[in-house]
């Protein structure tokens, strides 16, 4: 057996000691972290807040009552605007009552081409509940809902509302604002920040449109009552709080899955 220099033996001893210390530190740190996590979870449960994803998952919904069923088909039928129409939409949405007819014409064509998308939106907002196909037992293998078509459908409703108001059809315009608010509610039931941000985006469009419409005419008393009821039911804080609870539950799930 070869004879190693004394300094080599010392380096080996130090390396072994450091390795043993690292293992011991890991075990101690893991134990402390696990104890603290257990304490944090116990504190959450004492406040009667959800800890697991299954506890905060939306309730199951019958297919015929589920708004998510038609909403999931939006991406299949929605016709996106081309660049020229997109530019016209930006100009029109900023000055809907002063924009030239040349900007309105492609937008009207875009709305007419999306009759199927409007039909799906009408179907969705008529259904009482919404639950997307997310596996809350193993969310990492689930596919997130295609949120972009929901936002684009919100744009469609707002553009149609502004065109109607420009043509003097005030009730039709306010009706589409109400539809946009109802779409936002159906598109964002999942307890995640992504879902609530999509809801916020559609609601923001609707409320901005409402502010634009109000100086240019009042809706009928019936339409105004429906819109007021919808606005009163829009509780942004509740949705955001639930989304944060859902994100915390997802964090617990990832932590547990990594053990």
Shared domain for 26 and 63, answered yes or no, is no
**Shared-domain flag, residues 107 and 3:** no
pLDDT tens series, the chain, 259 aa:
455 455 555 555 555 555 554 555 554 455 555 667 777 778 878 888 888 888 888 888 999 999 999 998 998 999 988 999 999 999 998 899 999 999 999 999 999 999 999 999 999 999 998 888 888 887 777 667 778 888 889 989 999 999 999 999 999 999 999 999 999 988 777 888 888 888 888 999 999 999 999 998 888 899 888 888 888 877 766 778 888 888 888 887 777 766 6
Let me know whether 30 and 117 are in one domain: no
Residues 36 and 60 in one domain: no
Choose one of 15, 30, 48: the last residue of a domain: 48
The pTM of this model reads 0.79
Are residues 59 and 40 part of one domain?
no
Query: Does residue 71 sit in the same domain as residue 186?
Result: yes
**Boundary residue ending a domain (11, 33, 48):** 48
Q: How many domains does the structure of the chain reveal?
A: 2
Cβ contacts of 257 within 8 Å, gap of 6 or more = 140
150 and 66, same domain (yes or no)? yes
> How many whole angstroms separate alpha carbon 201 and alpha carbon 186?
13
Range of the domain at 21: 1-48
């Amino acid at each position: 057996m070869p004879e190693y220099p004394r300094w080599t033996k010392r380096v080996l001893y130090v390396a072994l000691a450091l390795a043993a210390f690292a293992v011991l530190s890991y075990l101690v740190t893991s134990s402390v972290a696990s104890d603290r996590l257990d304490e944090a979870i116990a504190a959450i449960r004492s406040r009667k807040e959800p800890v697991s994803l299954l506890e905060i998952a939306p309730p199951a919904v019958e297919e015929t009552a589920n708004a998510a069923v038609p909403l999931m088909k939006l991406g299949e039928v929605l016709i996106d605007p081309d660049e020229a129409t997109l530019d016209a939409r930006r100009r029109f949405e900023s000055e809907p009552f002063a924009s030239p007819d040349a900007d309105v014409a492609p937008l009207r064509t875009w709305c007419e081409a999306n009759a199927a998308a409007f039909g799906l939106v009408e179907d969705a907002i008529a259904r009482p509940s919404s639950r997307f196909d997310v596996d809350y037992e193993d969310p990492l293998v689930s596919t997130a809902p295609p949120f972009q078509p929901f936002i684009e459908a919100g744009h469609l409703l707002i553009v149609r509302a502004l065109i109607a108001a420009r043509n003097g059809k005030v009730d039709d315009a306010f009706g589409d604002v109400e539809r946009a608010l109802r779409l936002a509610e159906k598109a964002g039931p999942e307890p995640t920040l992504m879902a609530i941000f999509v809801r916020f985006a559609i609601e923001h469009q609707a409320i901005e449109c409402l502010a634009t419409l109000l100086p240019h005419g009042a809706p009928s008393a019936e339409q105004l009552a429906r819109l007021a009821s919808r606005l009163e039911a829009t509780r942004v804080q509740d949705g955001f709080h639930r989304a944060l609870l859902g994100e915390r539950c997802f964090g617990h799930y990832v932590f547990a899955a990594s053990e």
